[in-house]
Every structure is written in structure tokens, then in C-alpha cells.
């Protein structure tokens, strides 16, 4: 899949969506084939730092000890100190609200057992547990500012339950080169993680929030 095919599909998607009174999100949708997701080696799950932000307002919460409290409160959007874990353990609704409000959770490494015990039952099914693959399990001296900046440009690529992956790659008013670069970055990395690579790709689409999905390379195929 090359740049010109994405460019053409993006143009059509914008035209068919029309003008709205808000900035629409642009999604990349990839459908797959010839994979058995019951097989672990056919499943995909990784974190991908994009070259550019996708325009989403990413919120990050820290789950830390007293030694990280000051730095976490300075750099992150919200902080839960270990002494307050018990309050959350007694109120599942508070944990659900946390999971709904924040995109990523950073945990102090030596507290992971307590984090799992307190938040795991809610965070786990929602895929919100602090994940070492995303760099979200950290030592007390971690550079939280740099980590948060990286997370703002990071998307999770996960294909475990259905042969389709959809992700926001930009806002409609962003530079076309950025939109295309984000689309290609996601597509190429997803292909790299598939068991038969490009042979597992069925279709690729570009979609704006209020518009129909437009097939990339509709006249020539997506490969």
C-alpha cells in the first residue's frame, strides 16, 4: 500500500463526510483474513509510537509511592498514591471511573502487586493495566515527562477477538502528510506482526467520524 492510494481515499472520505461543526477524527480500518485468533501466534498486541500525534487528548494517571508523588503530580494528569489504594479497593465505582477517564496508567514497579490486587479486576478486562510493553511500569527515578510525551503519540495495536483493527490516526484539519504518515506507520507495523504479513490483509479503509468508510486502493486492491 503506497502513499498515493491513501491520499486518494482520504480525499474521497473528506468529500463524502462533508463539513461539520466539529473537528472529525480520521480512522484507519484494516480487515484481515486467513487467521485463526484461537492460536496465540496469530494474535497481535503491541504498542506503537507514531511519528506524529493523532490529535487525541491523551490522559495519563500515575499509581505511585510517596517517593514519586511530587514528580507524578507535576507531570501527569492525576495521581493515586499507594496509601489511597485502600479507598479504591472499597469502592469499585471509583476504579471504573478512573478506567473510563484515563487512557494510560503508569505504575511504580515495586507496587505492581498492589496495583494488580487493587485495580486488576476492573483494569484487566478494559486493557488498562499498566503495561511494561508500553513503558508504563517504571522505577522511582523515571522521567515521567518524557514518558507522557511518548504515550501521547502511542497507539495500541490489538487483534485478538475479531479480524478487524480500527484506530484514530488524525484529526481532519491536520496536515495531509502527517495523516498519511500515521496511516502508513500503523499499516506497515501491523503487517509486520501478522503471521503471513501482507497476505493476511483483506481490505483497508479510511473513515471520518460522520462519513462512510472509503476503501483504500478500491480500483486496484490494497496490496
Q: What tens digit of pLDDT does each residue of 29-76 get?
A: 999 999 999 999 999 999 999 999 999 999 999 999 999 999 999 999
CA distance 209 to 145: 31
CB 171 within 8 A of CB 183: no
Kindly tell me if the per-residue pLDDT of 174 is higher than 90: yes
The arithmetic mean of pLDDT across residues 10-19, rounded, is: 94
CA distance 213 to 164: 13
Q: What is the pTM of this model?
A: 0.89
Q: CATH 3.40.50.790: which residues of the chain?
A: 60-152
Q: At what angle do helices 144-152 and 66-75 cross, to 10 degrees?
A: 50
Mean pLDDT of the chain: 95
CA distance 110 to 101: 24
Kindly tell me if the per-residue pLDDT of 220 is higher than 80: no
Quick one: pLDDT at residue 102?
A: 98
Which of 3.40.50.1980, 3.90.320.10, 3.40.50.790, 3.20.20.140 would CATH assign to domain 60-152?
3.40.50.790
CA distance 144 to 148: 6
Number of alpha carbons in the 13 Å side-chain half-sphere of residue 187: 26
Is 90 exposed, middle or buried (CB count within 10 Å of its CB: 0-12, 13-18, 19+)? exposed
The arithmetic mean of pLDDT across residues 166-183, rounded, is: 97
The arithmetic mean of pLDDT across residues 138-158, rounded, is: 96
Task: Write the DSSP symbol of residue 39.
Answer: S
Kindly tell me if the per-residue pLDDT of 104 is higher than 60: yes
Which of 3.50.90.10, 3.40.50.720, 3.30.70.20, 3.30.190.20 would CATH assign to domain 3-54+154-215?
3.30.190.20
Q: CATH 3.30.190.20: which residues of the chain?
A: 3-54+154-215
Quick one: pLDDT at residue 219?
A: 60
Amino acid at each position: 500500500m503506497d502513499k498515493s492510494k491513501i491520499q486518494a481515499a482520504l480525499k474521497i472520505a473528506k468529500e463524502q463526510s462533508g463539513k461539520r461543526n466539529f473537528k472529525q477524527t480520521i480512522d484507519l480500518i484494516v480487515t484481515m483474513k486467513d487467521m485463526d485468533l484461537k492460536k496465540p501466534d496469530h494474535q497481535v498486541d503491541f504498542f506503537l509510537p507514531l511519528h506524529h500525534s493523532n490529535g487525541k487528548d491523551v490522559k495519563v494517571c500515575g499509581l505511585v509511592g510517596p517517593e514519586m508523588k511530587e514528580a507524578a503530580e507535576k507531570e501527569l494528569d492525576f495521581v493515586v498514591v499507594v496509601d489511597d489504594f485502600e479507598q479504591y479497593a472499597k469502592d469499585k465505582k471509583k476504579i471504573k471511573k478512573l478506567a473510563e477517564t484515563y487512557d494510560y496508567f503508569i505504575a511504580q514497579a515495586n507496587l505492581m502487586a498492589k496495583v494488580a490486587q487493587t485495580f486488576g479486576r476492573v483494569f484487566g478486562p478494559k486493557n488498562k493495566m499498566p503495561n511494561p510493553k508500553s513503558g508504563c511500569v517504571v522505577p522511582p527515578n523515571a522521567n515521567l515527562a518524557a514518558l507522557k510525551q511518548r504515550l501521547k503519540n502511542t497507539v495500541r495495536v490489538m487483534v485478538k477477538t475479531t479480524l478487524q483493527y480500527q484506530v484514530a490516526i488524525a484529526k481532519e484539519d491536520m496536515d495531509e502528510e502527517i495523516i498519511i504518515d500515521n496511516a502508513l506507520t500503523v499499516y506497515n507495523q501491523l503487517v509486520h506482526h501478522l503471521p503471513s504479513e501482507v497476505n493476511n490483509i483483506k481490505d483497508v479503509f479510511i473513515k471520518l467520524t460522520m462519513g462512510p468508510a472509503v476503501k483504500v486502493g478500491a480500483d486496484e486492491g490494497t496490496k
